[in-house]
Amino acid sequence: MGKLYRLGSGGMEEIKPDGKNDLAIGTRLWLSGYGDSTNYIIVKNMGVNEKFQGYGARYLCVNPETLEQSSHDAYEIDPISTKKDGRIHLYIMEDEPRDAEDVAELFKQSEALRKRKAETQRLATERVNEAIEKGRVIIAAKKPAWAKAVIVGFKEIDDCDMMTDYFNTKSGPAHLLAWSKHTKDIFSEMRKAAANHPETEHLVNAPKEAEHREKYSMGAGYYLKAARTYSTGWKVKKMPLSYYEDQLYQIVGEGRCCIPEK
């Protein structure tokens, strides 16, 4: 059986699930350390995996506020009496477990939510697959034989969290702006392509500062954007067909091809 360790005050210490494999159904677990702390109610003990006994019992839990399900292993939780600082950790609370009827209703509601989300995801996947197949047919008919890359435009949304030094952007749906005969990053070519969509048209004559050159570790490559790297704004970028073709099928299949018909 593999052993698990964590860094303690005296160095590496073994993590043991001893005494935590038979928590009562209805027990409240509390995740501390995130500002808005989260509660979970144990609704099912799924037992110990014989291959990973060091993890201890796995518990199916439900967040009583969101009804979201999650699973947690015995090794990762500790009694609240052991809490010594503000670090992020999952604790076993000492209040009375919820009664069986309450737990059963909580599980029922969480299962209904899980099934609704699964069905929504299934339908979304089905729509994407249909769009990809549709796009595959369109691309086969319209892609120039000389095309080696595409120029696309999409909106980036600031997703940074300054409190945690987290820097990121979320990308909206991409639009096909132009085909390219090469994979070189040429800003004049990107500017010309930007004219093919109303949301990127402002980049045609954007100032020099809109030309981002970030071909370095953790950089975003060459692209046009009239804003800072992590700011919200529309972005124009070249993508080689060698690894972008699958995404291209979906873009075109969903009607986001902005190349003017000749």
The pLDDT of residue 251 is 97
Q: What is the pLDDT of residues 176-188, one digit of tens each?
A: 999 999 999 999 9
Fold of 4-97: SH3 type barrels. (2.30.30)
pTM of the predicted model over 0.85? no
Select from 236, 234, 214, 232 the least CA-distant residue to 224. Answer: 236
Q: Model confidence at 85, in pLDDT bands (50, 70, 90)?
A: confident
53-61 mean pLDDT: 93
pLDDT of residue 163 exceeding 80, the answer is no
Where do we find the tokens 């390219």?
180
In order, the DSSP letters of 101-144 are HHHHHHHHHHHHHHHHHHHHHHHHHHHHHHHHHHHHHHHHHHS-
Query: pLDDT: is 83 or 14 the higher one?
Result: 83
Has residue 198 got a pLDDT over 80?
yes
Least confident residue range of 6-20, 161-175, 199-213: 6-20
**Long-range contacts of the stretch 38-41 (C-beta < 8 A, 24+):** 38/63, 39/63, 39/64, 39/65, 40/64, 40/70, 40/72, 40/90, 41/98, 41/103, 41/106
Q: What percent of the chain has a predicted confidence (pLDDT) above 90?
A: 73
Instruction: Quote the pLDDT of residue 64.
Output: 97
Q: Sorting pLDDT into bands at 50, 70 and 90, what band is 220?
A: confident
Percent of the chain scored above 70 by pLDDT? 92
Please, how many CA atoms are within 13 Å of residue 170, restricted to the half-sphere of its CB? 6
pLDDT band of 259, cuts 50, 70, 90? very high
Asked if residues 57 and 75 have their Cβ atoms less than 8 Å apart, the reply is no
Q: Is the pLDDT of residue 199 over 80?
A: yes
Position 92 scores a pLDDT of 96
Which pLDDT does position 165 carry in this prediction?
A: 63
Does residue 123 surpass a pLDDT of 90? yes
pLDDT confidence of residue 126: 98
Residue ranges of the domains in the chain? 4-97, 143-253
> In the chain, what is the greatest distance between 2 CA atoms, to the nearest angstrom?
73
What's residue 34's pLDDT? 65
Q: pLDDT of 222-258, one tens digit each?
A: 999 998 888 899 999 999 998 898 899 999 999 999 9
